[in-house]
Amino acid sequence: TSPLSDRVTVMQESATIAMAKKCRELIAQGLDVINLSFGEPDFQTPQYIKDAAKQALDDGFTFYTPVAGIPDLRQAICDKFKRDNQLDFQPNQIVVSTGAKQALANAVMSLVNPGEEVIVFSPYWVSYEEMVKLADGVAVPLVGSLENEYKVTAAQLEAAITERTKLIMYSSPCNPTGAVFSREELGAIAEVLARHPQVYALADEIYEYINFVGEHVSLAQFPEVRNRVITVNGFSKGYAMTGWRLGYLAARPDIAYACEKMQSQITSGTSSIMQRAGLAALRGGRASADEMVAAYRRRRDLVLDIVKDIPGFKTPTPSGAFYIFPEVSAYFGRTAPDGRTIGNAMDLALYLLNEALVSAVSGEAFGAPNCMRFSTAASDEKLAEAFRRVKASLAKLA
Ligand code: PLP
């Protein structure tokens, strides 16, 4: 019998990571695979941030830090919330973590009791559901409609809340759909939450800076729910710092303290060097992000322009992040040149990997089995070539 716990046995491996593995195998065989399965900026981390990390090393800043982060960084995060989001936090409301991922996990583990329901706006980021399972909670996916760019509505939320509901979780801008909630939409969601005082909200704003519509709205901006919102953000996407592993959350003091306690028993404070780098990043403002956003927007437009001529792809226009998320079920039941049938989005992803040498992820892991996610975080040339190949390969399906 297996020595492994039930906890890890029921856990899914991240689908994006699994696809990247297959993709690397083909690349190792010498094939020219274009990898659009990862959620990773293709930009370098800005130089001034790298310099701050080097400086931290030269200063000998190599010791344990406070669990929730160095005071300067917690203050700089408060300043960022004030500047960008008009939100007032004190440093004791901020917990710095090893990536936004740990901030999300801290919050779920700190709020959810066994059997409590977590409404996960769907399509959702792959890890949400597994985090809820880890906390022995019950993930309740709430699916937005394609017509509404997959955004869950306030009416849908109202109908889904039960007396067991503890938390809602969503990202805006959304991974995988790129949808961005407007002030009106989030205000309506806040109104619903105001009527249900036992329900908390985990707002994942990691893609805040990668926004093509302009206004980023935080759920915590609505006074009636401010005390029940945990806002998560970080450095991975906006500052192209995925490998640095630095993120944070802001919450009311008792919740922040609980997250700090959780983290104190698992990882302690995140790397001292990375915290100094994060401090420099925030002090540098968002100019570097704005340059990247211009490129992401250009690439989105370039990709949408090719994709609009692919029959059977129904692709909402993303308002942020760096993905497109077409509905592809028109291809289910078709036959590949080798006689194999495309039964679902996973089959289609594998077909495209082998035939077009383009790696993308099936929507299954995002709670949307009729969709596929393609990252648009690659060079213009690679994107143009990738979608030209995708289009040609799809045309071979009978
Ligand atoms: N939240 C969303 C929606 C993401 O897409 C990601 C990364 O892909 C994360 C959180 C995790 O960010 P980090 O790399 O800071 O842990």
Task: Give the model's pLDDT for residue 197.
Answer: 97
Does any domain span residue 350?
yes
In this predicted structure, the answer to whether residue 13 has a pLDDT above a threshold of 80 is no
Same domain, 364 and 269: no
Q: ipTM of the assembly? A: 0.99
The string of pLDDT tens digits covering residues 93-125 is 999 999 999 999 999 999 999 999 999 999 999
- Distance from the alpha carbon of residue 56 to the mean position of ligand 1, in angstroms: 25
Does any domain span residue 135?
yes
- Mean pLDDT (whole number) for 226-252: 97
Same domain, 189 and 110: yes
- Distance from the alpha carbon of residue 235 to the mean position of ligand 1, in angstroms: 9
Q: Report the percentage of the chain scoring pLDDT > 90.
A: 91
The string of pLDDT tens digits covering residues 123-165 is 999 899 999 999 999 999 999 999 999 999 999 999 999 999 9
Same domain, 121 and 228: yes
Same domain, 301 and 389: yes
Domains contained in the chain, number:
2
* Mutation choice for ligand 1 from 206, 211, 249, 270, CB with most ligand atoms inside 8 A: 206
Same domain, 221 and 178: yes
- Mean pLDDT (whole number) for 51-79: 98
Same domain, 186 and 120: yes
Here the CATH number for the domain that contains residue 324 is: 3.90.1150.10
Does any domain span residue 51?
no
The residue among 256, 285, 314 that closes a domain is 285
Confidence label for 33 from pLDDT (cuts 50, 70 and 90): very high
In this predicted structure, the answer to whether residue 242 has a pLDDT above a threshold of 90 is yes
- Distance from the alpha carbon of residue 140 to the mean position of ligand 1, in angstroms: 20
Same domain, 88 and 23: no
Residue nearest to atom 7 of ligand 1 (CA): 39
Ligand 1 atom closest to the Cα of residue 16 is 8
Protein residues whose CB sits closer than 6 Å to any atom of ligand 1: 39, 99-101, 125, 171, 175, 204, 206, 234, 236, 242, 247
- Distance from the alpha carbon of residue 101 to the mean position of ligand 1, in angstroms: 6
Does any domain span residue 57?
no
- The 3-class secondary structure across the chain, one letter per residue, is CCCCCHHHHCCCCCHHHHHHHHHHHHHHCCCCCEECCCCCCCCCCCHHHHHHHHHHHHCCCCCCCCCCCCHHHHHHHHHHHHHHHCCCCCHHHEEEECHHHHHHHHHHHHHCCCCCEEEEEECCCCHHHHHHHHCCCEEEEEECCHHHCCCCCHHHHHHHCCCCEEEEEEECCCCCCCCCCCHHHHHHHHHHHHCCCCCEEEEECCCCCCECCCCCCCHHHCCCCHHHEEEEEECCCCCCCHHHCCEEEECCHHHHHHHHHHHHHHCCCCCHHHHHHHHHHHHCCCHHHHHHHHHHHHHHHHHHHHHCCCCCCECCCCCECCEECCECHHHCCCECCCCCECCCHHHHHHHHHHHCCEECEEHHHHCCCCEEEEECCCCHHHHHHHHHHHHHHHHCCC
In this predicted structure, the answer to whether residue 21 has a pLDDT above a threshold of 90 is no
The string of pLDDT tens digits covering residues 300-323 is 999 999 999 999 999 999 999 999
Same domain, 311 and 211: no
**In terms of residue numbers, what domain contains 350?**
6-44+288-395
Task: Give the model's pLDDT for residue 41.
Answer: 84
Does any domain span residue 200?
yes
Here the CATH number for the domain that contains residue 184 is: 3.40.640.10
The residue among 267, 285, 303 that closes a domain is 285
* Mutation choice for ligand 1 from 38, 175, 361, 373, CB with most ligand atoms inside 8 A: 175
Confidence label for 83 from pLDDT (cuts 50, 70 and 90): very high
Task: Give the model's pLDDT for residue 38.
Answer: 82
